[in-house]
Structure 1
Amino acid sequence: MKTAGLAGLAVAGLLAACAGAPRPPLDADAPRHGYLSDEAKADLAAGVAPRPVAGSLEDMADHAASERMRALDGGERWLLATLHAEVRPPLGQQSFDCALGVRFGAEPTPKLDALMTRVLLDANDVAERVKAANPRLRPIGEDRERRACQTIDAAARSSDSYPSGTAAVAAAYGETLSALAPDHADAVRASANQIALSRVVCAMHYPSDVTGGEAVGRVVMSRLVADPAYQADLLAAKAEIDAARARNQTSPACAAERSAYRVPLP
């Protein structure tokens, strides 16, 4: 199960994912607010480094790296990137199935879904605040004929690129799931980084957008770990994670994922 497995799953990813944030949670009953106050999020956003200066060496390196990614268009790693485009619970945590040795979706995980939704809202909101101060077109915005890895409209194609909200959410997810399954922390954080890199693979972001997004995710988590409500929800979700691991089920997509990760990034 290699490219065929990814291709089948990618259809759902292309249909479900839509660029531009914030997006409403998939579950109508999901939380609509994160853990952090507006003041806390504004403070965190103010501390994030700005985007590379247009025309700088870093900016030119970003564009060159994005151009190299065209070689992956339509291949295994690109198809995996289409799946990574959907980070909203409950689908979003399925990108961590293989790292955790579980099969999310086999049984409902409402407490984990609520926890991850609130983490997403905080990480994405801080990323959006940074974007507002750092206008930068996405690769698919600069080249409007370039294929996107998800359903996208004209407004989303023209939306800002720095920092990557998906990378911010992935990094925050990685820290949260590492706290829930510390014995799998290295694998979980590696998966979070691959989700972030997928945004470069499929031309939604430049490398520095992803690096900036991951920094946002980590700084959000540095604040959340001291939040009593977050810690209470983390404890409540632990039972669901433990139950998922105890079922000893694995995702049929893991072989395809391993194959895709072996594809070197150009």
Structure 2
Amino acid sequence: MKRAVLIAAAALLAGSCAVNDAFPAPSRIETAAPAPGPYLGEQTLTALAQAVQGPPAPGSAEAAADHAASQRWRAFEDSDRWRLAQAHAEVRPNLAVQHFDCPLNTRLAEEPPPALMHLLGRSLRDASVASNAAKAVGFRNRPIVDDPDRRACIRVDDDLRSSASYPSGHATVGALWGRIMAEVAPDQAQTLTRIGDEIGVSRAVCALHYPSDVAAGQALGVALFQAVRETPEYQADLAAARAEVARARSLGLRNPGCAAERAALGQTPS
């Protein structure tokens, strides 16, 4: 792998922290500081969580296929896709907003737009509450627990190692944020939605979730988005965030890691 490509991949995280083993391993998705409350009420969040179907039954054909699909990601350890997965582990809004830089041709984390931070912070709470509640549908070990020889792409503490793999909370917030960002910048809706979904895929790359964990988390994120966007508070926050992002895009800043990101997203398991 060329040194220039690796340097560019690291640049995607410029201004935050180093790529390798740089991210904390929380047992829950949460922000580093107190965040605004969720857009949705407790009753709605509980209903969305309860609608999540359980994981594949142990020993079933579905579980076997899931394990085999997970193993195919081992080929990408230490690759560009692996390093992008390390970056995607970051879900604190002021840093995670850079995941969406490349489709927008800007650098949002340089000076995080406050209205956008408020929008992502509130929606993160929706994703956190719903995904943590949904883990009650049935406990499932993470791939790194089922296979002690698997490597995680981030540091893993005991809390994360012992927590439920299904559904993926990162996949939930990624799918939710990707669709929110698609509304913030509709001209790049398809690419922004994909980036959000790739945040979930990165958890399979990292051996922290099975593919079905990711799929269930993404489905929950889509359901959350459909509910959140019906709230007047979201619509007001969206309008303010659109104006901020439009201004940021007009400044002509560029994230130097975008070439590496494109290369990474082109890597898929055979």
Structure 2 equivalent of residue 253 of structure 1: 257
Would the aligned equivalents of 1:52 and 1:58 in 2 still touch at CA under 8 Å? yes
Q: Over residues 161-194 of structure 1, what are the superposed CA-to-partner deviations in whole Å (9 max), with x where a residue is unaligned?
A: 1111001101100111111111100110111122
Structure 2 equivalent of residue 124 of structure 1: 128
Q: Where does 1:94-109 land on structure 2 (aligned, <5 Å)? A: 94-109=98-113
Structure 2 equivalent of residue 238 of structure 1: 242
Count of matched residue pairs = 263
Distance 1:7 1:75 in 2: 12
Structure 2 equivalent of residue 180 of structure 1: 184
Unaligned runs of 5+ in 1: none
Would the aligned equivalents of 1:100 and 1:187 in 2 still touch at CA under 8 Å? no
Structure 1 equivalent of residue 8 of structure 2: 5
Judging changes above 3 Å, is the alpha-carbon distance between structure 1 residues 253 and 139 closer, same or farther for their aligned structure 2 residues? Answer: same
Unaligned runs of 5+ in 2: none
Match of 1:21 among 14, 28, 38: 28
SS class of match (2:167): coil
Match of 2:35 among 28, 31, 34: 31
Distance 1:16 1:46 in 2: 30
Match of 2:119 among 110, 115, 119: 115
Distance 2:20 2:235 in 1: 31
Distance 1:165 1:207 in 2: 13
Distance 1:35 1:13 in 2: 34
Alignment pair present for 1:165 and 2:172 = no
Distance 2:229 2:75 in 1: 40
Would the aligned equivalents of 2:40 and 2:126 in 1 still touch at CA under 8 Å? yes
1:187 maps to a residue whose letter is: T
1:64 maps to a residue whose letter is: A
Distance 1:146 1:261 in 2: 22
SS class of match (1:16): coil
Match of 2:159 among 152, 155, 160: 155
Distance 2:269 2:26 in 1: 23
Question: Which one is further off, 239-248 or 13-22?
Answer: 13-22
Q: Over residues 21-42 of structure 1, what are the superposed CA-to-partner deviations in whole Å (9 max), with x where a residue is unaligned?
A: 133x13x3x5242111111111
Judging changes above 3 Å, is the alpha-carbon distance between structure 1 residues 151 and 32 closer, same or farther for their aligned structure 2 residues? Answer: farther
Distance 2:28 2:42 in 1: 17
Structure 2 equivalent of residue 57 of structure 1: 61
Would the aligned equivalents of 1:42 and 1:126 in 2 still touch at CA under 8 Å? yes
Would the aligned equivalents of 2:143 and 2:209 in 1 still touch at CA under 8 Å? yes
Q: How far 1:12 moved relative to its partner?
A: 4.2
Alignment pair present for 1:192 and 2:196 = yes
Distance 2:261 2:236 in 1: 33
Distance 2:220 2:124 in 1: 12
Q: Over residues 211-253 of structure 1, what are the superposed CA-to-partner deviations in whole Å (9 max), with x where a residue is unaligned?
A: 1001000101111111111111111212211111111222000
Question: Which one is further off, 229-238 or 80-89?
Answer: 229-238
2:246 maps to a residue whose letter is: D
Would the aligned equivalents of 1:20 and 1:159 in 2 still touch at CA under 8 Å? yes
Would the aligned equivalents of 1:51 and 1:162 in 2 still touch at CA under 8 Å? yes
Structure 2 equivalent of residue 218 of structure 1: 222
Would the aligned equivalents of 2:142 and 2:208 in 1 still touch at CA under 8 Å? yes
Distance 1:77 1:19 in 2: 22
Percent identity, aligned pairs only, is 41
Distance 1:254 1:22 in 2: 26
Would the aligned equivalents of 1:19 and 1:150 in 2 still touch at CA under 8 Å? no
